[in-house]
Structure 1
Amino acid sequence: MIYLKQLKEWNKTTNLTSIVKDEEVVIKHFIDSIAAIKAENFIDGSLIFDIGSGAGFPGIPIKILRPDLRLVLVEPSKKKSSFLRYIIGLLKLRDVDIFEGSLEQFADSFINHEQANYIVARGIKFEFIIDLSRAILTSNGRILLFLSTSIDRSRIDSRTIVENEYSFDLPIGYGTRVVTSLSLSS
């Protein structure tokens, strides 16, 4: 697996992930990421924004399985963005762009950009994602959050609707994960 090999190689000099054992990387990054395919029925040709993409999770594994989807990886770290450019080229992925900057900078520079059908995020506080998603998500778009437990509904406002929660166990006892699909009302 080219992606795994390059992730390990780059991780020696660039802090892409604290997870380093092959088994753990495959389970906690790759398998966790592709759960989105089971959690959400992505519309063909949809545009996905992967917020805080890091080493490309969950966006790149989703793109590998669904090459028809268009992807924008939003990543503030220059080193991680360099890895993303490298791996996208190596894997010959098409219709993938990288925005090197924070979500706030991305939202601020958004004037001429097409709105996303989906926003995916792992490891970022969901309240932060929800607030900034209103301007960059289509009116019928979805936010997919990768969490370790079900979302605490008392922490979301009345304009945020939990559409679906897909719960699954990671292999070999690595825990339970939940992919939560949210929509935003006006």
Structure 2
Amino acid sequence: KELLEKNNEIKKMQRESQQELLKLRADIEIMKQDFIEKEKHFNESIKLLQEEEEEKEEEEEDKKDNDYVLSSNTTYSSTFSFDMFCSSSKLLKTFIGHTSTIWTIDYSTFNDSQYICSGSQDCTVRVWDIDNNKQIKLFNGHSNAVTCVKFVSYYRHYHKVNNCLPIVCSSACDSTIRFWDFETTGQFQ
């Protein structure tokens, strides 16, 4: 009788595990689609910025070629007071560690602490403890610039207690999406 009860309990746990696995797979697919959409948007933005830069360069060349002079009665002014902007802003924190351009960041709180993760042209993902102003995690594995990072909550079922484990997801120009284990700094398989 005890053996039958244990067998039923094992089958129940297997069903629950399979249901949770299916839910996690669905969540991963949703995240993949989100990352693909964000990467597409990022690439479109880069292309648009490049086109705008080319247009500006062409306009500047045209102005030089035309060599015109504005008459003294023409009033044209387009200025931005950077000093006014600076006086109303202040630097709060600086995190040093990346060796190239940072393309993306995300913010999260867990375990009563605040964190930022960042992705960079240097192919790394880093996690920073905001309260201590320190880098606490470094994820290596991408072979090209990291363009999107995101904290994701993931629940594991251990001994019938739900524990929240943060995961960092990243996508890069190497055409990969990676899921990083916050505790071990390794990738999920």
TM superposition score normalised by structure 1: 0.22
Normalising by structure 2, we get a TM-score of 0.22
